Amino acid sequence: MAAARRLLLAENRPDAISCANDTMALGAISVARHEFGLDVGRAVSIAGYDDVPMAAWPTSSLTSYSQPAASMVNETVRLIARLRSDLADHAHIVTPGTLVIRSSTRPAQG
């Protein structure tokens, strides 16, 4: 929350804040609303990462990037099994997530 305060106190306040996880983003929303009186999603956009259940609560309505945890676990187990059976080879695996847009962000302008 201290980082959000510093950003929101800056002379050139940002239009958006992207947080490393939803917990940090929810803290930033709280600071923006309760300490600065900002309308999150209009005066400032805030987004997080992980799409925790609380992100969908109406009081939060946090835009977040949802990781495909089940797919990531399945791929990890598959790779470990290949390593143990000496079938290991170089692998580049992409498990795309989903951007879940909620009201904590606004569309880009300009």
Residue 7 belongs to a domain: yes
In which domain, by residue range, is 34 found?
2-68
At 88 the pLDDT is: 65
Phi (first) and psi of residue 49, to 5 degrees? -145, 125
Residue 88 belongs to a domain: no
**Amino acid letter for position 22:** D
At 93 the pLDDT is: 84
Tell me the per-residue pLDDT of 39-96, one tens digit each, with 9 for 90 and over.
999 999 999 999 999 999 999 999 999 999 999 999 889 888 888 877 667 777 888 9
Cβ–Cβ < 8 Å for 63, 43: no
Token readout for 49 is 């990462």
Report the CATH number that the domain containing residue 63 is assigned in CATH.
3.40.50.2300
At 73 the pLDDT is: 94
At 82 the pLDDT is: 82
**Strand order, beta sheet including 98-100:** 16-18, 45-49, 63-66, 98-100
Helix (H) or strand (E) holding 26: helix 22-30
